[in-house]
Structure 1
Amino acid sequence: MSIAGEPGRGRATAEMVAAKANVSRVAVSRAFNPHTSLKPEKRELILRIAKELDYTPDRAARALVSGRSHLVGVIVPDVCSHWESQEIDALTTALQNEGFATLLFKTRTDYSMDEQLLAYMRGFNPDSVIAFVENVKPKTLVRFLGRAVPIYVNYPFENEDDTPVAEPLYDRLNVFQHNGIDQAVALLQGFGAKRIAYLSGLSKSRANVSRERTLRRVMRERGMGEPQIIPGDFTYDTAYRSTVDLFRIGQGADAIFAANDVGAFGVLDALRHELNLRVPEDVKVVGFDDIAQSHWKSFNLTTVKFDLDERVRCLVRLILRRLNAPDAPSLEETLNTRLVVRGTVG
């Protein structure tokens, strides 16, 4: 005769837990949902007995009843770069705290995504999908999502009408970059910088395109002309080489505004170790993102900050708002940027 919890028995069921705890089947279900009300002593009893019986809720069965899988898909272009890895870590933690598990999907190098992988994603029936890449268009993505409404991280250009036209329903986190860039240019201008170079990111990145356009506008508004564009791709090595070329082949610059912090690190090392220039006395440097390494003493980087915690909170709010109002029109959250001043400008 097999005993519950020992090999040979069938999988423990909620009914078995309910019988041993002398509670209803509904109470067992509620005990595993931290957001439902249940007396603490009853929840503790149910969970203790469930552990004794080696019972875990059948997520697939619960999804059929509730219509929710408690899964969130995340589409990213990269999983090892500093910003993306920090964001994925913070987002995964926040989603788990809300009772969601995360499905991670990576795009091709051109930011597109294999449609077979999208079909595979649909098999998981996610409650939501967050797209950090704009090349996977909403009209493509929604074909594979069923009931889920995707969330896009969007970088609108100031005063640009970015309202979706004839697009499927999707929600957006709008990240406005103007405030932080304007503060950075004002600081550079205040310290006498006249020739500002922009170390770009990947040309296909909407964040980079919006960043460069905003910088051009801010400089024009401040009577500073156009920035010199240095080719970059968000990586340290390309930033290092481009900085050396800027000073050995080109005309140099008073300041370099990098499209991200990792690029700014490459700029700093090239200036200090290859070109023997002082920062900030000879050349001033500004980054973008404010990743964790930016405050390290070797870099001490002045940078335009995305508040990562607030960014994650905005994304989680969009998920919860959509689940509470599945038929609502497009939902939006807004995030601004600000300058963090450290030792590379001054």
Structure 2
Amino acid sequence: MTSRPNGSSQRATAEMVAKAAQVSRAAVSRAFNPQAPLKPEKRARILKIAEELSYTPDRAARALVTRRTHLVGMIVPDVCSPWEAQEIDALTTALQAEGFATLLFKTRTDRSMDETLLTYMRGFNPDSVIAFIENVRPHILSRFLDRAVPIYVNYFIEDGADGLQPGEPRTLFDRLDVDQWEGMEQAVALLAGYGCRRIAYLAGKPDSFAEQARRRTLEALMAKRGLGHPIVIPGDFSYDAGHAGTIDLFRVGEGADAIFAANDESAFGALDALRHELRLRVPEDVKVIGFDDIAQSHWKSYNLTTVKVDLEARVRALVRLILRRLKDPEAPALSETVRTRLVVRGTVG
């Protein structure tokens, strides 16, 4: 174990790391740059010693004095799907208006994150980190942060859920709670009012907490109205999965009166499959409801009825969490709640 020189109150420097690792100062700089040439074992040794010394490279002299970098990290699963792209754009704009710059980190395809990237994130010493992905859990992410308290988006069914998984270590993090119940209840009531009894659920990625909460909420709401269980169409939130799954539902399965999709993009796939492949009328033969209310949902070719997550309200809530935490760094876990509502358009009626 490398001892921190001259007591724990002294800020470690690159020279201290270089001396402890018996390398040059330049090698320490290269170790924190993923593009710089350095042997993997040498990089690993330097980063290990840097972690033991709690060293992070300086990004700005001002940050050393103010302890504020005005940087906000965002961890996302992808940047090309419509919802993520629109949220990143809106959030970046809102943060810049508050004087923050953003750092974007993308997970692997399995939604995990290379710990080396987390080490690089720590080097930027961000004021806050928003995790739009559940797989990088708070007790893992917090190991790579200095003073920042991460923010997680939490989808829940029961009020009071704290966002922790069973058996998970208790770690301080702030939450944006998305209450799906109200909007989904309005959706199920609308379908029931039109006499729909065979309701199919076009699922998202199975390992997504948002997907799991959405599905369980739909099951609870349908049971409450005596509608039985939804017919589950496997999916992954994508247009292609929604399109293919809908064709299978009607050509291999027994079809449905209505399709409730886990997001708008997969609902678009369902709509195109119904209209162009199966030659069914929407909403006369089959009714379709999406989730999110992305910008494309009101386009005339789709005119999608959907459960709306108000993007502006969600972004403002995230910004408030950042500002509240910076104002009171020692506060217990902070939370904001965003509710949902049904937007009725032409795919139900």
Deviation at 1:111, TM superposition (A): 1.1
8 Å CA contact 1:199, 1:230 repeated in 2: yes
State percent identity of aligned pairs. 72
User: Which residue of 2 is the match for residue 120 of structure 1?
Assistant: 120
Superposition pairs for residues 37-186 of structure 1, below 5 Å? 60-159=60-159, 161-162=161-162, 164=164, 166-186=169-189
Q: Could you tell me whether the CA contact under 8 Å between 2:200 and 2:230 is conserved in 1?
A: yes
8 Å CA contact 1:138, 1:150 repeated in 2: yes
SS of residue matched to 1:337: strand
Report the alpha carbon displacement of residue 149 of structure 1 after superposing the two structures with TM: 0.3
Partner of 2:22: none
The CA distance in 2 between the partners of 1:227 and 1:200, in whole Å, is 11
**TM-score normalised to the size of structure 2?**
0.81
> CA–CA distance in 2 between the matches of 1:238 and 1:280?
21
Are 2:153 and 2:178, in contact at CA under 8 Å, matched by a contact in 1?
yes
Question: CA, structure 1 residues 163+297, in 2 after alignment: closer, same or farther (shift >3 Å)?
Answer: closer
Aligned residues of 2:196 and 2:257 also touching (Cα < 8 A): yes
2: distance between equivalents of 1:280 and 1:67? 56
Distance in 1, Cα, partners of 2:347 & 2:104: 36
Cα distance between partner residues in 1 of 2:273 and 2:72: 41
Measure, in 2, the Cα distance between the counterparts of 1:343 and 1:321: 41
Q: In structure 1, how many angstroms separate the alpha carbons of the residues matched to 2:160 and 2:68? A: 36
1:209-288 to 2 correspondences below 5 Å: 209-288=212-291
Quick one: distance in 1 between partners of 2:154 and 2:252?
A: 36
> How far apart are the structure 1 equivalents of 2:159 and 2:336?
17
RMSD of aligned alpha carbons: 1.2
Given the superposition, is the C-alpha separation of residues 60 and 155 from structure 1 closer, same or farther in structure 2, using an over 3 Å criterion?
Answer: same
SS in 1 for 2:175: strand
Distance, in Å, in 1 between the alignment partners of 2:170 and 2:157 is 19
Deviations 1:78-105 (CA, angstroms, capped at 9, x unpaired): 1000000000000000000000000000
Measured in 1, the distance between the counterparts of 2:96 and 2:329 equals 21
Using the alignment, how far apart are the partners of 1:220 and 1:163 within structure 2?
25
Larger of the two Rg values belongs to structure:
1
Deviations 1:154-189 (A, max 9, x none): 101224643647411100000010001100000011
Alignment match, 1:321: 324
| Residue identity matched to 2:179 | F
Paired residues of 1:113 and 1:136 also in contact (CA < 8 A): yes
Q: 2:208 aligns with which of 205, 209, 213?
A: 205
Quote the Cα distance in structure 2 between the aligned partners of 1:158 and 1:288. Answer: 19
C-alpha contact 1:158 1:178 (8 A) present in aligned 2: no
The whole-number CA distance in structure 1 between the counterparts of 2:195 and 2:128 is 48
Indicate conservation of the 8 Å contact 2:139/2:169, yes or no: no
Gaps of 5+ in 2: 1-57
Q: Is the Cα–Cα contact under 8 Å of residues 158 and 214 in structure 1 kept in the other structure?
A: no
TM-score, normalized by length of structure 1? 0.82
How far apart in 1 are the matches of 2:251 and 2:156?
A: 36
